[in-house]
Every structure is written in C-alpha cells, then in structure tokens.
C-alpha cells in the first residue's frame, strides 16, 4: 500500500495538525499502513466531522463513529482510491452519508431493504458540492490561528457583539476588533488558496 | 469603547460581520464615508459575511462550529489498522494458497500466473514456489494432528482439506534420518490403504533434533499429495519405508 497523492493532494498540511503529526511521525515510519491512516485523519477527519455533524443534528458521539468508520473504509479501499484522480473527498462524503442512512435505518428497526435504492444513497451532485464546500470552509477556518478563530466564533458565529464577546473572552474590545479584522484577511487568503472567492 | 485614529481602520472587519455594538457602528459608518482605504477593505471582505453566514446557518448546534475530532478517534483508527493489517495478510495468504491450489495439477499453467495476478502476493508467491507443501502447511487453517513414534522417534504433523476429488494432505515430518525411501499412506476406517506421496530421506535426514554432525539437517520436510477418500473416511496416516519398516502413525 502506498501513501500518495490521492490522500494528500487536497491541501498542504495545516500547521496545527502537522505539529502533532511531526511528533509521532518517525516512530511509525516502519508502519506505512498506520502512516496512511494518520494522513487520512490529519487531512480529512476534521472537515468530515463538520459535515457529518450536520447530517446527525449535532450528535457528537454518533458523528465521530461515522467519521471513524468512513476513514477505515477509505484505508481499506486505498488501492482503488489511489487510482482515482483528484480528491478523495467526494468518495468520503458519499460513504459517510451512506453510513448515516444505514445506521438510521437500523435505529428505526425497520426491515432492511435488500439494498437501498441508488437514488436514496447516492447524494445528489449539489449535495456533494455543498458538503465539499463545508469541508473547505472548515479547512480554511483551521488555517487561522487559535486567537483569530476564537474571535470569529465568539462574535459572529455565536451571535454576540464585539463588547459582549470581549467580556466573555476577558480581553479588551479593541483587541477583539483588530483580531476580527486580521482573522478575516487570513480567512480570505485561506479561501482563495482553495479556490473559494468571497 | 470607541476606537480612534489608526485603530479605527480595523473596525471594518467587525462592521462587515455586523458585530460592532450600535454606538460603535454609527461612529464607524461616519469614518467609512470619508476613508477610501476602509471602503476598499469593506468591498474586499463583505463576501466573507455571507460565507460565514451560510456556514453557521448549516450548523445544528453551536458546538458543531468548532467541533474537532478527538485524539481518541485517531488512536482507535491506528489500533484498527494494526489489527486489520494482520488479518489482511492472513487473507492474502489464503488467496495465494487458493490461487496456487489451482495450478498444482498443471505445471504448464504456472508461467501464466504472475505475481501481479495475486493481490499483493508477490512475496507469498515466492514462498509458494520455494516449497508449495510448506506453504500449504503454513496457510491451512486447521491445526492438524501430530504423532511421534515411541520407537523410531520420528515426528509427523498432518493437515487435510476436503476436495471434490478426495482429500488434500499436507505433512510436516522431522527427526527422521535415512538413507531410505518412504511413503505416506492414508488408511481408511475400513482398512483401505492409499499412497499419498513417496520421497527419499538422505543420511543427513530432516528435522534432526540432536545433530551430531554439522551436515545434519535441522529443517523438517514438507510433503503434500492427495488421497481418493473424503477426510471423514480416513482413520489415520502411516509413514513407512518402502521396504516395509513402520516409521510413524498420525491419527486423522
């Protein structure tokens, strides 16, 4: 099994994650399968979790199970995936969605169909696009420093004003305002690197 | 908390997102009307607002926005990989054994089965070519049965698998010293005898337990062959020299 472009071609490693990978890398050089799994996790686990959480109404535990199963299947099918050109993310999205649907069925204890109808299981193209878009935004947000991401979450994403967020974070409002500004600039760059124009 | 001077330019970020407090927003708007630099920044950043808006609108919970996979997930994945890799290697060995079994009867076909025909199996295929019998012995699932003769001290382990044509028999034999020729006999429950295979044991023997000469062979010998009986009809196996001396018996 080779670790090659198909699993790493999406983006350069995000700095936050590659630190932890660098720490554990050399010890595992002897086990290419494990290296491959780590690469899959590093590149895709976060964005995939962001997508799957939206499929399972924010159920964290369930979403983690789905992501874990999806990455395992990717690893098992890596020969096939390596032959495919481009990103493996559409594949990941399709598989994750299928796992969610299947587990939902068994939860409802309905008799399982011989095979789910392809229409039901195959996500529509725009749904894949939407999922890939979500994953890209997650990648871009991951590129931000913790401090920058924090102010965006504390204000806009949580529906707070600058002054409310400053109180919540315990930092001056002026700092929040300037961090938001630089966070947005970085985010714009990070999105442009990924072909998303704001 | 109004910002002033140079600092005021950065407020365009919070303004674009609509998170400035009302009084600050009023002040900034005045500034924006007269600041070309801020107008430009506003145009450049305003699209981010709608992207973040769509991103957060799709999140069912606030926690969704910042959720990151746990370290535990990575640990579990790596553990699974370690386990699966072992079983996959096992599976590949069976695959090679299965492929090899197809060509046992036809040496002419060997050339057409290249290493790439067998998924990931080039190393395994090499092992197979080196000693098919040892390969079958190592890859057969069952543990087999063993016997040691109290007189001759010859040891043998036999593994079998059912076939349409009868029984495929694989044997490991050791602590045996020739020179002589011998055979492996399958004995049915009603006493019928069928020869599975014959071979020669040299003076340096096979699987010698206590070598007395450096040339003594410590490696056991692997042989395989077939019998035209089904496994459940076989009572035991015997190894005899061709001149009739009994070496060892193994229960089927």
Q: Which architecture does CATH list for B142-251?
A: Sandwich (2.60)
Give CA–CA dist B247/B252, Å, rounded: 16
At residue A35 the predicted structure's pLDDT band, cuts being 50, 70 and 90, is confident
What gap in Å lies between CA A148 and CA B201, rounded to an integer?
78
Is residue B125 very low, low, confident or very high in pLDDT (cuts 50, 70, 90)?
low
Which candidate in B58, B69, B71, B76 is best for mutational testing of the A interface (most A CBs within 10 A)?
A: B69
Q: What is the pLDDT of residue B82?
A: 84
* pLDDT at site B154: 95
Domain termination site, one of A104, A120, A140:
A140
- pTM above the 0.95 mark? no
Order across the sheet with B166-174: list the strands: B145-148, B155-163, B166-174, B221-227
Residue contact B13–A58, C-beta within 8 A: no
Q: Quote the minimal CA–CA distance from A92 to chain B in Å.
A: 16
Domain identity same for A43 and A59: yes
Q: How many CB pairs under 8 A join A and B?
A: 149
pLDDT at A103: 78
Contact (CB, 8 A) for A83 and A66: no
Distance CA A191, CA A184 (A): 10
pLDDT of residue B213: 86
**C-beta atoms of B69 and A160 within 8 A:** no
Judge whether residue A109 has pLDDT over 70. no
Per the omega criterion (within 30 degrees of 0), is the bond before A117 cis? no
Tally Cβ neighbours within 10 Å of residue B100. Answer: 22
Backbone angles phi, psi at A142, to 5 degrees: -65, -25
A160 touches chain B (CB under 8 A): yes
Q: DSSP characters for A85-115?
A: -S-SHHHHHHHHHHHHHHHHHHHTTPPPPSS
Same fold flag, B5-66 and B142-251: no
Domain B5-66, CATH homologous superfamily name and number: Anti-sigma factor, zinc-finger domain (1.10.10.1320)
Domain count for chain A, please give it: 2
The DSSP secondary-structure symbol of A10 reads S
**Whole-number Cα distances in Å, A70 to A92, A134, B142, B149, B231:** 7, 17, 34, 55, 43
pLDDT computed for residue A2 by the predictor: 40
User: Same domain for A122 and A163?
Assistant: no
A173 with A136, same domain: the answer is no
Confidence (pLDDT) at B131: 75
Least confident of A9-13, B74-78, B142-146: A9-13
Task: Give the structural domain span for A178.
Answer: 144-198
A118 in the same domain as A23: yes
ipTM of the complex in this document: 0.74
Q: What is the pLDDT of residues B171-180, one digit of tens each?
A: 999 999 999 9
Domain boundaries, chain B: 5-66, 71-130, 142-251
pLDDT at A108: 58
pLDDT in tens, B53-95: 889 888 888 788 888 898 899 999 998 888 877 776 666 666 6
Same domain, A113 and A59: yes
Q: How confident is the model at residue B184 (pLDDT cuts 50, 70, 90)?
A: very high
């Amino acid at each position: 099994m080779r670790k090659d472009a198909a699993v790493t071609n999406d983006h350069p490693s995000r700095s936050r994650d590659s630190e932890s990978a660098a720490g554990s890398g050399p010890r595992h050089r002897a086990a290419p399968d494990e290296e491959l799994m780590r690469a899959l996790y590093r590149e895709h686990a976060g964005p995939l979790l962001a997508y799957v959480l939206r499929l399972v109404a924010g159920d964290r535990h369930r979403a983690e199970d789905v992501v874990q199963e999806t990455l395992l299947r990717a690893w098992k099918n890596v020969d096939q995936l390596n032959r495919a050109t481009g990103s493996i993310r559409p594949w990941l999205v399709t598989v994750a969605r299928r796992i969610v649907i299947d587990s939902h069925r068994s939860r409802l204890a309905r008799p399982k169909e011989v095979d789910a109808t392809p229409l039901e299981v195959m996500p529509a193209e725009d749904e894949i696009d939407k999922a890939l878009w979500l994953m890209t935004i997650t990648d871009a947000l991951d590129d931000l420093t913790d401090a920058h991401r924090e102010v965006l979450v504390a204000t806009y994403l949580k529906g707070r004003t600058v002054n409310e967020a400053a109180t919540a974070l315990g930092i001056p409002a002026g700092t929040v305002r300037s961090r938001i500004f630089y966070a947005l600039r970085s985010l714009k760059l990070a999105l442009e690197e990924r072909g998303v124009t704001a | 908390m109004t910002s002033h001077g140079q600092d005021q330019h950065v407020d365009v970020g919070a303004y674009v997102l609509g998170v400035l407090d009302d009084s600050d927003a009023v002040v900034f708007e005045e500034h924006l009307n007269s600041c070309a630099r801020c107008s430009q920044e506003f145009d450049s950043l305003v699209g981010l607002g709608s992207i973040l808006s769509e991103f957060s609108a799709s999140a069912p919970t606030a926690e969704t926005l910042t959720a990151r996979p746990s370290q535990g997930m990575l640990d579990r994945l790596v553990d699974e990989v370690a386990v699966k890799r072992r079983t996959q290697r096992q599976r590949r060995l069976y695959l090679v054994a299965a492929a090899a079994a197809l060509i046992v009867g036809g040496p002419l076909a060997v050339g057409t089965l290249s290493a790439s025909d067998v998924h990931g199996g080039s190393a395994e295929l090499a092992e197979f070519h080196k000693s098919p019998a040892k390969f079958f012995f190592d890859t057969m699932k069952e543990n087999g049965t063993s016997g040691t003769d109290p007189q001759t001290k010859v040891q043998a382990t036999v593994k079998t698998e059912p076939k349409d044509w009868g029984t495929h028999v694989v044997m490991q034999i050791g602590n045996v010293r020739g020179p002589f020729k011998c055979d492996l006999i399958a004995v049915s429950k009603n006493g019928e005898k069928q020869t599975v295979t014959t071979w020669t044991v040299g003076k340096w023997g096979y699987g010698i337990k206590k070598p007395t000469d450096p040339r003594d062979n410590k490696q056991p010998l692997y042989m395989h062959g077939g019998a035209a009986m089904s496994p459940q009809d076989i009572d035991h196996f015997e190894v005899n020299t061709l001149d009739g001396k009994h070496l060892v018996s193994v229960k089927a």
